[in-house]
Structure 1
Amino acid sequence: MPDWSYRTLFRPLLFAMPSRTARAVTLGAMGALSRLPGGTLLIKTLGHMDRYRDLESDRLGGLRTGYPVGLGGPVDAHGQAPAALAQFGFGYVEVGPVTPEPIAGGGPIVLDAEREELHYPVRHESDGIEAVLARERANAGKRRQPLLFRLRHMPQSDSRRAAAEVSGMVERTKELADGVILDTFDERWTEEEWFAAAEETIGAARRMLGEGAPVFVYVPLDMPDDRLESLLARRRERGRLDDGLVIGDTIRAGDLYAVGRSGLAPTRRKLRLIREYDAACPVIATGGVHEPAEAVTLVREGADYVQLHSGLVFAGPGLPKRINEAILHDAMRGKKPPEPETFWQGWGWMFLLGIGMIVGGVIAFLIAATTVVLPYDEAYLGAHRHELHEGNGNVLPFMSHDRITLAGTMVSIGILYAQFARHGLRRRLHWTKTALLVSGIVGFSSFFLYLGYGYFDPLHALAAAVLLPMFMLAMRREADDPPRTPANLRSDRLWRRAQWGQLMLVSLGFALALGGGVISIVGITHVFVPQDIDYIGATAEELSRINPRLVPLIAHDRAGFGGALLSDALALLAAALWGVRQGERWLWWTLLVGGLPGFAAGFGVHAAIGYGDFVHLLPAYFAFALFVAGLVLLYPYMTKPVPASEE
């Protein structure tokens, strides 16, 4: 459920449901998808969160993490979708709060969309240690991120009993936990009682977990500042016993407990206070992060990690990826960018391949618009094109229709490939290499579809023989550098509008891929659809009586066009899924210029030959509407750079 589907389609529906129902439906669907064959790969593909060395860190008490964003335990409180959430770009996962016995929610979770807050009836809702351990054993291996168990005593326990409860849970979780977060502060206790409980549980965790398993102390967001100062002063006096602090995200709001955007200000205040006492202490900040800008602010002010909870509900599941990109860009500011690839190192070969596709498409168009068939086509048929025309006056126009649409698609592919090479491979952008690799493999493989009816096309074979080495030379280089354009920081109106535009283009990519696959299958099986037969005025059997090799020749054209359309669609789909980024002006113009030849060829040839069947053209009308709507909605987002004030 990427942002382009969550913000546009699903969020309005989910926000109309009771919050617990919406959470269960969302996580249940994601969990079910992740358990299907290829489901986890699909989730990862839709999000495509790259790993970059500059985002890796060992500040999580020595644990190595790939991203500076953590997943808050209450998001998937019942462990419904661990494998799915693991693909979103999280560096670690919090499990909890975990209590010795279950603590029921006791009422609905109230969602305040205007203030972007969730209101819980109890602060520490938990399934209890038994259920959590059983669940995590079942989920073992479904995610690679470190697991931090947040352990909390029962609500009515005194300080001594609380210390015993938390210490007992440390013992029970050590087989699964990579580290623990000790949530032992209780406003009912005196300062000395709390310190005693905290030190006892830290000591127990050290003994039970051993080296390499970090022990963090949880600082509630509404902990009085004087209590926090006392904690920090004692840590400085006695030496730090823990491996870091976690600033919570929950504030008492009357009879409820609020988690939301309002938590950012107190989080920043507590973070500054911690840094006054300990500049080197690892800190996880969890409150009020609903936009990348807020995460960047916390990192600039000293947070080592940010942890998400309510932000995922209000901003969408793409928030961790957006935060990772924003933090990465912020970290790279001022650093000299690497030198772009030289032309012959790799990207130039793909650029030449694209130019070759454009030239080939133009030549194919000129032939299809004039003679339609080539001499080797006539040699294969054993007949001159005039004989075909005499046998059925609509055969040559129909073949022209197939070949001109193929020519337009070839030009579109060439434009996409050349631009992806010049602006993507040259800068070693990972998504462009992946897009070109997938699209190219499909495109070159579709050559074998030409053989479906036993027709070997020497011109296509020659083109494939020339272009395939270029493709292989271009793909031999690594491409894993991060984008250098500023990352989007705000979930503002411009960004929300862009989600609709991205939805349109992703839908177009899927639709064209489906269409290309169907056309290829039809081309090598039935060859014609009913509308084709109505236009030609003859069935396949009747055409075979004109010339027994005519249907195989037409099938070759149809299968070739279907394969090319599928290849083109995959390149477009990859760009729509992974390349849409604020200020990527080149990609917007690439999609516009790359899409026009295909649509112009398709609509133009149908008008020219009088093949105007509405049902036949309806998919093309629908695709063009998605194309126009997507580009219009994305125009201000992709063509205007991120404001300098937000960088």
Structure 2
Amino acid sequence: MPDWSYHPLKKLLLDKISPKASREFIHKSMSTIASIPGGRNLIGFLGHMKAPHEFQKDIHHIHYPSPIGLNGHIDPHLSGMNVFQELGFGFVEIGPIVLTEPEEQLEPRRKGNHIQFSEQLEKVPLRSALKKLIKHTIRIPVFARIDEQVNKEEWAIIVQHLSPFVDAFIGTSEQLTSCIDQKAFAFDRFFYVSFSTDEFDNNTIDLGKLLKNQYVAGVVLNAPHQSNGSYWHEIVNANESLIKMVTQFKEQYPELIILTSGGVETPNEAYALVHAGADLVMLTDGYVNAGPGLPKRIHERILYEEVHPMKEHSWHWSFLFGLSILFGGIIALYFAFTDVILPYDESFIGLSRADILQINPLILSFMSHDRMALAGTMISGGILYTQLARHGIKYGLHWTKIAFHSAAIIGFLGIFLFIGFGYFDWLHGIFWVILLPIYYFSFQEGKNAITPPYSVHGENDHLWKYGLYGQLCFILLGFLLLLGGLVISTIGVSKVFVSTDLNFLCMSPEILETVSANLIPVIAHDRAGFGSALISVGLLVLTLSLWGFRKGERWVWNTLCLGALPAFIAGIGTHLYIGYTTFIHLLPVYFLVLIYLLGLILSYPYLKKK
């Protein structure tokens, strides 16, 4: 559930139900999707959330895909354990673990825009934790936080049973002092000492003594809390306090491994902690407020400092490919406005242009409308391809390569739709042959596009939230264009006409066949070709909207604005030009234009602001 779907749903539904109900709904929904065949790939396609390889690190022989993790009290029922790794988290905490389930569990509550947690956090019984850990294949490290109220005997049982399934434990200094120092047990997992703000401020812990223990790997610094009766929430300046704690610990113990818990709601706050010296950062309720895309945004914010500005890569073949499609669309538009059918069309049909005009002039008008729509779609595709090459592949952005070549390959395969009714368009075939070597070199130069995206944007401001709604509009636009292309292609290779087409022609398919047995195959070839082009353009718009929205990416807004215009102008203009203005037939196009304009308006401040 990326941010563009999470925040509209949060506003409409999640904020109106209890925090526990909304939490379980989100986690169980995502977990269900991840469990079905292809579900993980779907999550990856929608969000592109997995951490770039630049963030991989090893600490005490444990491999972390990312330094960003999730705190245990965000998912105490472990409902989303098998999906967090797909959201870009590098590790996850479970707990606080207890031996037996308490008689009463106090749920979190909502206070204004914040989530408040009970002083007695929801506990995770050992049996429940083991059941979940055994059931799911978790490919990221798991930390188990042991409840501070368990006694020494319970503590030993919990550690013994969880050790095969977790990578490290988190406990209080009292637990570690009373249990580890007695050396009553042999452990094969490291322990992290959890500090509260009071313990840090009052300097009540002999950290030097704890760190000498062979089982202690580092510390967990928890964001300062403010109590409100039997509930608590993080203080307003929790991030600043954590940064101060991290800095002081690193100055005193430079080699100390430091985890932080909480105090992060924006990418800038996470970057500040990492910059101060935090090795691992756990998100808490800031993740709930910011949305599931927060880990991805943090990665992009941190990466900005490392890769900006990016080096240029080879991109000219990809640009030439897009330019060729654009010019091909212009040529097709010229023929659609003039002769409509070419000599080899006339030869195949067995009738000249003059003959067809004499039989029914609306036949040529109808064919012109399909060919104009195809030409406009090709011009739009050419603009999108050239923009992806110029602003993405040129700088080695991996996501632009995937978007570019996915649409291009589908476009090439669309040629097989042209011959679905036994008619092969030689002009299309020649164009396909010309494009193939250009695309080959484009594909070769795209192999070097492996750079992950970055972003300087680090706040959860109003521009970002409006941008999410604009992004949702364009994602919907791309999906509907893709769906429309599939429908049109299917019609093109099956029944060819819809009812409004036949009403416009004032002729049935049977009558058209009596005019010429080869007339319908030519019309079908035009329709299937248009559908194929629309699929490619829909996929380009969809992937560009899914993966390219970042603050200040002016080229993305320009591309969507200019790229869609030729297709819309051709789609509506050709119907007005030939007089085919049936409202129900054009209603889908009107709806798409409305979404397009709304997306441009909502995303303009976010994408166009430098």
**TM-score, normalisation: structure 1:** 0.90
Q: Which residue pairs with 1:147 in the alignment?
A: 142
| The 10-residue stretch of structure 1 (629-638 or 400-409) with the greater mean CA deviation from structure 2 | 629-638
Shift of 1:47: 0.8
Cα displacement string for residues 230-254 of structure 1 (whole angstroms, at most 9, x for unaligned residues): 3334346x47751111123473614
Q: Which residue pairs with 1:190 in the alignment?
A: none
1:197 matches 2:194: no
SS in 2 for 1:243: strand
Quick one: distance in 2 between partners of 1:586 and 1:604?
27
Q: Which residue pairs with 1:226 in the alignment?
A: 202
Q: Report the CA distance shift for 1:97/1:107 in structure 2 as closer, same or farther (over 3 A).
A: closer
Shift of 1:131: 1.2
Shift of 1:514: 0.7
Which of 510, 516, 524 does residue 555 from structure 1 map onto? 524
Q: Which residue pairs with 1:457 in the alignment?
A: 425
1:570 matches 2:539: yes
Quick one: distance in 1 between partners of 2:121 and 2:492?
61
Decide whether the 8 Å contact of 1:291 with 1:319 is kept in 2.
Answer: yes
1:208 matches 2:187: yes
Shift of 1:482: 3.1
Kindly provide the amino acid, as one letter, of the partner of residue 395 in structure 2.
Answer: R
Kindly provide the amino acid, as one letter, of the partner of residue 78 in structure 1.
Answer: H
Quick one: distance in 2 between partners of 1:528 and 1:221?
72
Q: Which residue pairs with 1:81 in the alignment?
A: 80
Quick one: distance in 1 between partners of 2:484 and 2:184?
62
The size of the alignment, in residue pairs, is 607
Quick one: distance in 2 between partners of 1:390 and 1:221?
89
Quick one: distance in 1 between partners of 2:365 and 2:30?
49
Q: Report the CA distance shift for 1:582/1:338 in structure 2 as closer, same or farther (over 3 A).
A: closer
Kindly provide the amino acid, as one letter, of the partner of residue 88 in structure 2.
Answer: G
Shift of 1:560: 0.6
| The 10-residue stretch of structure 1 (259-268 or 416-425) with the greater mean CA deviation from structure 2 | 259-268
Which of 611, 627, 630 does residue 596 from structure 2 map onto? 627
SS in 1 for 2:334: helix
Quick one: distance in 2 between partners of 1:618 and 1:243?
64
What aligned pairs does 1:260-279 form with structure 2 within 5 A after superposition? 260=234, 262=236, 263-279=238-254
Shift of 1:112: 2.1
Cα displacement string for residues 78-119 of structure 1 (whole angstroms, at most 9, x for unaligned residues): 2223332221111111122211122366334211233x3x22
Q: Which residue pairs with 1:282 in the alignment?
A: 257
Q: Report the CA distance shift for 1:135/1:9 in structure 2 as closer, same or farther (over 3 A).
A: closer
What aligned pairs does 1:179-190 form with structure 2 within 5 A after superposition? 179-181=168-170, 183-185=171-173
SS in 2 for 1:82: coil
Shift of 1:50: 5.1
Decide whether the 8 Å contact of 2:50 with 2:85 is kept in 1.
Answer: no
Q: Report the CA distance shift for 1:82/1:233 in structure 2 as closer, same or farther (over 3 A).
A: closer
Q: Which residue pairs with 1:133 in the alignment?
A: 130
Q: Report the CA distance shift for 1:20/1:195 in structure 2 as closer, same or farther (over 3 A).
A: closer
Shift of 1:392: 1.9
Provide structure 1 residue ranges, at least 5 long, that are not aligned to the other structure. 186-192, 642-647
Shift of 1:331: 3.8
Decide whether the 8 Å contact of 2:92 with 2:142 is kept in 1.
Answer: yes
Shift of 1:222: 4.9
**TM-score, normalisation: structure 2:** 0.95
1:317 matches 2:292: yes
Q: Report the CA distance shift for 1:386/1:432 in structure 2 as closer, same or farther (over 3 A).
A: same
Kindly provide the amino acid, as one letter, of the partner of residue 298 in structure 2.
Answer: I
What aligned pairs does 1:448-597 form with structure 2 within 5 A after superposition? 448-476=416-444, 477-483=447-453, 486-597=455-566
Which of 312, 328, 336 does residue 340 from structure 1 map onto? 312
Quick one: distance in 1 between partners of 2:103 and 2:510?
71
Q: Which residue pairs with 1:372 in the alignment?
A: 340
Quick one: distance in 2 between partners of 1:361 and 1:341?
28
| The 10-residue stretch of structure 1 (25-34 or 495-504) with the greater mean CA deviation from structure 2 | 25-34
Cα displacement string for residues 379-410 of structure 1 (whole angstroms, at most 9, x for unaligned residues): 11111012122222211111111000100000
Quick one: distance in 2 between partners of 1:369 and 1:204?
89
Decide whether the 8 Å contact of 2:377 with 2:567 is kept in 1.
Answer: yes
Quick one: distance in 2 between partners of 1:267 and 1:338?
32
Decide whether the 8 Å contact of 2:105 with 2:123 is kept in 1.
Answer: no
Which of 117, 121, 126 does residue 124 from structure 1 map onto? 121
Shift of 1:327: 1.4
- Identity of paired residues, percent? 37
Q: Which residue pairs with 1:21 in the alignment?
A: 21
Q: Which residue pairs with 1:170 in the alignment?
A: 159
Q: Which residue pairs with 1:189 in the alignment?
A: none
Decide whether the 8 Å contact of 1:221 with 1:287 is kept in 2.
Answer: no
Shift of 1:227: 4.0
Decide whether the 8 Å contact of 1:502 with 1:576 is kept in 2.
Answer: yes
Shift of 1:122: 4.1
Q: Which residue pairs with 2:277 in the alignment?
A: 302
Shift of 1:478: 3.0
Kindly provide the amino acid, as one letter, of the partner of residue 119 in structure 1.
Answer: Q
Shift of 1:39: 1.6
SS in 1 for 2:92: strand
Q: Which residue pairs with 2:358 in the alignment?
A: 390
Q: Report the CA distance shift for 1:312/1:480 in structure 2 as closer, same or farther (over 3 A).
A: same
Q: Which residue pairs with 1:430 in the alignment?
A: 398
Decide whether the 8 Å contact of 2:226 with 2:235 is kept in 1.
Answer: no
Shift of 1:177: 1.2
Quick one: distance in 2 between partners of 1:454 and 1:427?
43
Decide whether the 8 Å contact of 1:585 with 1:640 is kept in 2.
Answer: yes
Kindly provide the amino acid, as one letter, of the partner of residue 305 in structure 1.
Answer: L
Quick one: distance in 2 between partners of 1:25 and 1:562?
38
Quick one: distance in 1 between partners of 2:118 and 2:29?
25
Q: Report the CA distance shift for 1:319/1:589 in structure 2 as closer, same or farther (over 3 A).
A: same
Q: Which residue pairs with 1:55 in the alignment?
A: 55
Decide whether the 8 Å contact of 1:249 with 1:286 is kept in 2.
Answer: yes
Quick one: distance in 2 between partners of 1:261 and 1:369?
67
Quick one: distance in 2 between partners of 1:272 and 1:261?
19
Quick one: distance in 2 between partners of 1:105 and 1:270?
34
**RMSD of the TM alignment (CA)?**
2.1
| The 10-residue stretch of structure 1 (548-557 or 238-247) with the greater mean CA deviation from structure 2 | 238-247
Q: Report the CA distance shift for 1:457/1:232 in structure 2 as closer, same or farther (over 3 A).
A: same
Decide whether the 8 Å contact of 2:225 with 2:234 is kept in 1.
Answer: no
SS in 1 for 2:220: strand
Provide structure 2 residue ranges, at least 5 long, that are not aligned to the other structure. none
SS in 2 for 1:394: helix
Quick one: distance in 1 between partners of 2:178 and 2:500?
79
Decide whether the 8 Å contact of 1:55 with 1:68 is kept in 2.
Answer: yes
